[in-house]
A and B are shown apart, each in its own frame.
Chain A
């Protein structure tokens, strides 16, 4: 299985907000508002029994313990959250895991009961991002405003900015997307990602 490479934590300037880039920022780098400690125990589960069954199925798929103990590693937590339809940032995932140390990611495990409140918390996040947000994001790199971005530039950006992606991840993402000139039509690119 591809081990999810967890990037080292980076200071997050602010949460990515859709459609707000044009508004003038208040100051150069706003202080990260001190987030209240995430208390998983206080989260009320609002899922139905049916939903929980479905989540359990997905959770079991990622259980790699030899005796099927219904546990996943911290490193897998992000995958399961995403497989269930959310798209938290890596920072979000680490927060919900209680800011574990890097070496804990592959050695510590969580069971389904512990996972559920995490899922609930993530599912409440307002800024999941829509198709339009995604297009906007890519449009930032559309230098000529013609609906295409340079593949090479996108690769560079994804590997060096934000929550950096590895070369493998970038390759996977871009496979078959660039045309003969190395350009990517980003509307179809997005459709490719969203249809996944």
Chain B
């Protein structure tokens, strides 16, 4: 009997022990998960702040270009350099353009194994093109030019506003930013099917820059546009702009892929971009636009014929005026002979009749002679929204502050129309009411829920779908679910940073979301490994920012450390950094990652700075502030170098290099002496033949964090000793342009130690499906892609938002 009871008690104790053990493990797990979540969040914050900081860099570039235009005089020696920079703005007649873009002389060699296109294109050819790009083939420049020319011809007859209908129960698929990430487009096509008569698509801009396959994405989209002009709609994004492309990598990509004909291709693309429609409206209820709206957005104005614009000429040298003497450059005209409808159009039935109607409208609203047409259209190519964004502000202030006779050439409506376009392509929503200029981006505005409400009412719309901002889940609602941000480039900041999404819209106009993540790189990595990897990148970028502001930080620390002990407590460290950097980041939470050691809770800040060091140039002869300045402006420098390197050799002459730096120094009002320039040249290990390798020079401005280097190496060794690491056949490409780095070149590898590629524990399992993480997804499914078809694609979840 006793034994029986003992057994029961033993059994019970055992169960109880299990329960206790379970709770213990569960507690620890939950703590681990919460820490991981915190890291994920601050990593995201870092990327977002860096992106905003990076946009400031862009404004610096425009300012510099504006300065150049203001201040070059015919007699100065810089003239050649400047005209070099702006040579692309030569104006020719259309006939000359057609000769310039002629592809008929380009021979395609027999060994070329890529697609050979015949026009007019058909669906099979478009599908073949997709397949070819999937297999990493490159389309021959002859076909590229031909395809682009056909696209240009088509776009010239399309309206500014695409009008689409969900008749016949067709669902329309809408995609956001792609940014040159071909894997994402392929993933969308795989999941959703390619565009066709049954499957209309709207693409909401930003097809290019940052990713490495911008060209391929454009070719695919244009091909489908040509095959199904009534079923594929392209909106213009702010990156469909040649000046932005110089900065963010598209220009470089094209010149690298098409060494012979790249420049012509770029020129043709410039024209195409300026002809892209601005906005798409579905069933007159849903607006799709890349950036957003402002309190002055007027769709009727957008649809109308936009008049020519001639900005005032420069009067006095003291006024900062973007438009210098060169008339050729200043004549920037947008001219789109669009559907001339001032009132809201009547609904139409079939898409076919709509197409015919637009062509008819086009012909009937022509009020000018043929010559005027040509004149107006050729000018249109010069237009670059981005360079205008700065000029726009200057011009508007110029107009308001005084009345120069020349400014009467400047019509108010012209100014309005420019602002309209900028607002459409650059604006961001904000949570507060009102509408304020978007100082961060330098164009467009921040608009509030009241502006949305008013706009929707005025135009009888019910929803605005826009892109332009990266969202962690690929999409995000705001303004009471009246504004939807849709972003289709997954892993945008770093592998694993975010998902992409696309939506389907049926006649009920309720969006049906599909999220995805192109996970070729992360297959085999678990969620925590993903987090750690992304975090690593974010911190690296953050350290660069700290380096850039070293001098300012040092002064801030020394102000606090009045006794000059070289020590500062963590709280003061955090507040000083925030005061200097203005990034609004959780520094106290981040400090264990940024600071390797403290004694008694105090940091030796000199030692800390020593750890944030540049690889080279050696800082012995070049003082710290100079290095910081150059580092801060290195993307501007690089852009200028690349413009100057007209034959895309990767080299610039010493003389051009010197002139560029001199101009920069004049602009910054900071002396860069010849000695310093020489020092820079020597220390970047050039080949001493009078030319400088641009990549090598930029490579010198790469930060090295010594302490992590040591840690990383030892960690790697430890792992190699303990476990066998999975073979990685491909170095993951970090496509983060938020880092003001030279990762515009797709082939450049991170110069960091291998630890950046590996993670803390080798994983032999396949990736876990990321749990569908949206709060409003009670009925979510996760699907696995059949491995046989899709080595690259993984794990898509389908989310149905609550009605």
Contact = CB atoms under 8 A, between A and B. Distances in A.
Given A50-B569, A61-B42, A163-B26, A21 B20 contact: yes
Given A21-B17, A82-B34, A54 B588 contact: yes
A117 interface: no
B761 A137 contact: no
B366 interface: no
Interface SS, B side = helix
B116 interface: no
B569 A140 contact: no
B570 A89 contact: no
Interface string B521-558: 00000111100000000000000000000000000000
B526 A196 contact: no
B12 A158 contact: no
Interface in B20-38: 20-38
B765 interface: yes
A19 to B, nearest CB: 11
Given A25-B13, A162-B22, A175 B526 contact: yes
B38 to A, nearest CB: 4
5 contacts: A1-B773, A82-B35, A137-B25, A172-B768, A176-B764
B18 A141 contact: yes
B527 A175 contact: yes
B33 A169 contact: yes
A164 B19 CA distance: 10
Contacts of B37: 1-2, 79, 83
A67 interface: yes
Contact of A82 (B18, B22, B30, B42): B30
A94 interface: no
Contact of B21 (A140, A164, A178): A140
A181 B23 CA distance: 26
Which 5 pairs of residues, A with B, have the shortest CB-CB distance? A162-B22, A82-B34, A175-B526, A57-B586, A162-B23
Given A16-B23, A58-B38, A66-B478, A50 B763 contact: no
A138 interface: yes
Interface of A: 1-3, 13, 16-17, 21, 25, 28, 49-50, 53-54, 57-58, 60-62, 66-67, 78-83, 85-90, 106, 129, 133-134, 136-138, 140-141, 154, 157-158, 161-165, 168-169, 171-173, 175-176, 178, 190, 192-196
Task: Pick the most buried of B21, B37, B764: most chain A CB atoms within 10 A of its CB.
Answer: B21
B510 interface: no
A5 to B, nearest CB: 10
B398 to A, nearest CB: 36
Nearest to B771: A168
Contacts, number: 164
Contact of B571 (A53, A66, A134): A53
B39 to A, nearest CB: 9
Nearest to B478: A66
B27 A88 contact: yes
A133 B24 contact: yes
B113 interface: no
A61 B586 contact: yes
A188 B483 CA distance: 48
B28 A134 contact: yes
A47 to B, nearest CB: 13
B589 interface: yes
B41 interface: yes
Contacts of B775: 1, 3, 106
Contacts of B16: 13, 21, 25
B351 to A, nearest CB: 38
Interface in B560-603: 569-571, 574, 586-589
A117 B478 CA distance: 33
Interface string B443-487: 000000000000000000000000000000000001000000000
Nearest to B13: A25
Contact of A134 (B25, B586, B760, B762): B25
B307 interface: no
Contact of A175 (B21, B574, B588, B765): B765
